[in-house]
Each structure stands twice: as C-alpha cells, then as structure tokens.
C-alpha cells in the first residue's frame, strides 16, 4: 500500500519512535511521498472545583521548551535518514489537532504510536491514538 502524503503524529515517546521508523519506511518505498510530522502539545491546566487555577509562567515555558526539543529530535533523526519532511509544532488538543492537520493537508494515512493503555485506564483516560482511530476519515496505522 503506497501513500503519497503521510502524516506522522509524534510526541517523542518510545511508541512514537517506533511509529517514526514505520513512517520512514513508508516514505522510502514511495518515491516522491510527502512526510508531514506533527507534534501537538497542550499547556497543563489545573482546576480547583469549577475554577481554572493559574500556573506560573515557568511551567508553561518548560512545556513549550520540551515541545521544541521534541521537534528538534525528530528533525535530526529525519535528516540522518535522508528524509525531507515538513515538521510542525502545534498547540492544542493532540487528537483534534492531528485530525485537523490531516484534513487541511490532504493526508492519506496517519501513522501514530500506541501508548499501550488498556482496560479501565483507556476507558477513563482515553488516548490520543484511540481518539484518532475513532474519528479519522482516512486509514490510521497504530504502531505498538
């Protein structure tokens, strides 16, 4: 199965690195394929009752710095592999951001790592990969 526009959802986790390996393989077997890499992140929010508690600016800066570091790591890895990719750092709900990006950029497949949540934890917490699979209008390759 060959795809000309591949979207990799990347968060720097072990599962995301396995998904990166698979996305690289897909890109290499399809000459001229466009690989898009999206790292979507959210700033933490804390609620006290019904109110949103303010966080120190340093916490948000730490989250942003980690997101930048994650995109730099994937950029270096792709350069090492000789893959030219469009890498995006986007703020927002990861599943929603990935799905919107896929639609806006006419992606033909989404490659994403599985966090491996199971049973009641996935029911309660959900997972980005689960939400993407349930809502995507295109094929999703979940890599374990």
Most confident of 17-21, 52-56, 124-128: 17-21
Report the distance separating Cα 39 and Cα 72, nearest Å. Answer: 11
pLDDT given at position 136: 97
**Boundaries of every domain in the chain:** 29-92, 96-118+128-144
The confidence band for 59, taking pLDDT boundaries of 50, 70 and 90, is confident
Q: What percent of the chain has pLDDT over 90?
A: 70
> What average pLDDT does the structure give for the chain?
88
Higher pLDDT, 124 or 36: 36
Contacts of 89 by beta carbon, 8 Å cutoff, 6+ apart: 39, 41, 67, 68, 71
Residue range 39-64: average pLDDT?
79
pLDDT given at position 1: 62
pLDDT given at position 47: 65
| Range in 55-59, 70-74, 104-108 with the lowest mean pLDDT | 55-59
| Range in 18-27, 107-116, 123-132 with the lowest mean pLDDT | 123-132
Residue range 86-92: average pLDDT?
97
């Amino acid at each position: 199965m060959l795809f000309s526009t591949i979207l990799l959802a990347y968060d720097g986790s072990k599962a995301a690195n396995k998904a990166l390996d698979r996305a690289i393989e897909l890109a290499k077997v399809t000459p001229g394929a466009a690989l898009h890499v999206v790292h979507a992140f959210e700033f933490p929010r804390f609620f006290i009752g019904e109110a949103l508690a303010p966080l120190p600016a340093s916490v948000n800066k730490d989250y942003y710095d980690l997101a930048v570091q994650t995109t730099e790591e994937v950029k270096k890895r792709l350069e090492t592999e000789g893959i030219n990719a469009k890498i995006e750092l986007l703020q927002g709900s990861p599943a929603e951001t990935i799905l919107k990006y896929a639609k806006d950029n006419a992606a033909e497949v989404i490659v994403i790592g599985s966090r491996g949540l199971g049973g009641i934890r996935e029911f309660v917490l959900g997972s980005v990969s689960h939400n993407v699979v349930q809502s995507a209008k295109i094929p999703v390759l979940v890599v374990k």
